[in-house]
Amino acid sequence: MDTGTADEQLMLRYQQGEHRAFELLYTRHKGALYRYFLRHCGSAAAAEELFQDVWVNLIRSRERYQVRAKFTTYLYRMAHNRLVDHYRRHSRNPGVSFDDHSNPTIENFAAPDREQPEQRLVHNRTIDKLKQLIAALPPAQREAFLLREEGGLSLDEIAEVTDVGREAAKSRLRYAVARLRKGLVETG
Amino acid sequence: MSKDDQEDRELEAYLKGDSALSKTYQALAEEEPSARLDRVIMAKARRALPRRGAHHPFALHWMVPVSLAAVLLIGIGLVSLIPYESDVFAPKGLSPESDTVSPDERAGRSAFEMKPSTEVEVGSERRLDEVHDKVGAGKQAPVRRAAPAERKQETRRRPPVEDETAQKRRGIKTGIMEEPAPAAMDEAIGNKAYNARSLDDQIKLVRIGMSQAEVRQLLGEPVKQEKMAWIYKDVRMEDADAPGTLYRIYFEHGKVHRVEGTPAPDRAGPKP
């Protein structure tokens, strides 16, 4: 199978029963989607749970799939919805919302567990700092940054996935980039 | 330059994809889901697909209704075949295996009724005993039919009717009959034959397809046997001079084919 086949075509082939198309689709997006959840949750176990849920939902919705947008937008829309649901269920502060007015702290949305073995293997100090900075971002800004970095989405696509206007998505991403740059400079 | 302007420029540079921030992030973006999780998801994706060789959803949808319809059709077919394969439901007196049975026979009419002879009158009361008188008092008739009194005694000596019927049904084994008589014949022979008062009555009980043994059982021995027919003579008890009636029963392949009645010659019965 042509590795350059568009994601949408692969999804349609899987819809018609071609398992190999799903394998290719999964291989292309599994890492980015996993890291999207990992950066948000800070826990590999939670990230895997959400990650699996999204793929299972995709498998179940196979027959209803229609090409209305980029597959990546479709996939991260499902991931966003699952993440919002996860925050609602596990937030220790019921008042915390996934919007620009919330002021979540690191305590509310835990930073990556520094006790995780894979975390100890990070030998680059800058990279370690960047992870902490990302974890410290407000959820909406963090999501905008991760959708851009992991999903490769444009501003319009970020706005579509997060169900906000383009300017709101741009503002979130601008603040996220500014905070991260400032944090790295201060570290460096 | 304001702070917002600076952030806008940083954002534009970042969106172009060659910012230091993106390069730094991509350097740490190396985490992957576990191989176990990969296998789990792949298995779920494979199980969600229809199995190879599995029935198409359309076939699955119609499998049950089509099966029910097939069973229903087969059942109706079997039920409709039952009357033709068993004589349980056949009209009495019909031999279902006979291909030569005419509609008249299917209606259960007697052989005599099928061939209404213009030469004879069938309705008059006659006594079989007069056969002796017609044939000749001093002569030994080929087969003498018993007088009423004698016949009464003879009837007493006969085994029960049911035994005779059973015996006829065993005819294939004993050789008495070529084949079992239909139920209507049994009934006619068993219940009516010995109660009939005259040959005229008895002759009406003869049916197309009766064997010679059954005719003999019903009417007794004929006064004369020809190659293809047996002759029975009936006379009036009350009027010995009456000409009487000659009945001729024709056989084909040992089975009754037709019956004719003609006036007998005056005082000159057929010789044995």
**Using the beta-carbon criterion (under 8 Å), do A35 and B31 form an inter-chain contact?**
yes
Alpha-carbon span B7 to B2, nearest angstrom:
9
- Structural domains of chain A, with CATH: 7-187 (1.20.140.160)
Distance (Å, whole) CA A86 – CA A40: 10
The mean pLDDT of B195-210, rounded to a whole number, is 77
Nearest to B181 by CA among B172, B192, B173: B172
Cβ distance B24 to A184 less than 8 Å, yes or no, reads: yes
pLDDT digits (tens, 9 = 90+) for B35-72: 999 999 999 999 988 876 555 556 667 778 888 899 99
Q: Which residues contact B95 (CB under 8 A, 6 or more apart)?
A: B101, B182, B209
**What is the rounded average pLDDT of the residues B4-21?**
83
> Higher model confidence: residue B21 or residue B236?
B21
Please report whether residue B44 resides in a domain: no
- The predicted structure's pLDDT at residue A171: 93
Judge contact between A86 and A41, C-beta under 8 A. Answer: yes
From A34's Cα to the closest Cα of chain B, the distance in A is 6
User: Any CB–CB contact under 8 A between A79 and chain B?
Assistant: no
Which residues of chain A are within 8 Å of residue B28 when distances are taken between CB atoms?
A: 122, 124, 127, 130-131
Return the structure tokens found at B199. Answer: 């040959």
Q: Which stretches of A17-129 are assigned E, i.e. beta strand?
A: none
Q: What is the mean pLDDT of each run of 10 residues along chain A (188 residues)?
A: 78 92 95 94 92 95 89 95 88 50 40 47 71 92 94 94 94 93 80
**Structural domain span for residue B129:** 103-263
A interface test, pick of B4, B5, B12, B14 with most A CB neighbours within 10 Å: B14
B231 occurs within a structural domain: yes
Which residue pairs, CB below 8 angstroms and at least 24 apart, start in B252-257?
Answer: B252/B228, B254/B178, B254/B211, B254/B212, B255/B208, B255/B209, B255/B210, B255/B211, B256/B111, B256/B206, B256/B207, B256/B208, B256/B209, B256/B210, B256/B211, B256/B215, B257/B111, B257/B208
CB pair distance less than 8 Å for B8 and A177:
no
Contact map slice: B 182-211 vs A, CB within 8 A:
none
Would residue B153 count as lying in a domain?
Answer: yes
E strand or H helix at A32: helix A19-41
CB contacts < 8 A, A to B, total: 89
Single pTM value for the model: 0.49
Q: Do B45 and A14 touch (CB under 8 A)?
A: yes
Task: Report CA torsion sign: B80, B85, B89, B95.
Answer: positive
Mean pLDDT confidence for B92-118: 45
CATH of the domain at B199: 3.30.1450.10
In a domain, B160, yes or no: yes
The answer, for A53 touching chain B at a CB cutoff of 8 Å, is no
| Residue B172 forms part of a structural domain | yes
CB B196 within 8 A of CB B205: yes
**Inter-chain CB proximity B29 and A19 less than 8 Å:** no
Q: ipTM of the predicted structure? A: 0.80
Compute the mean pLDDT over every residue in chain B, rounded to the nearest whole number: 65
A22 touches chain B (CB under 8 A): yes
Tell me the per-residue pLDDT of A72-121, one tens digit each, with 9 for 90 and over. 999 999 999 999 998 888 764 443 455 554 444 333 444 444 445 454 44
**Count of domains forming chain B:** 1
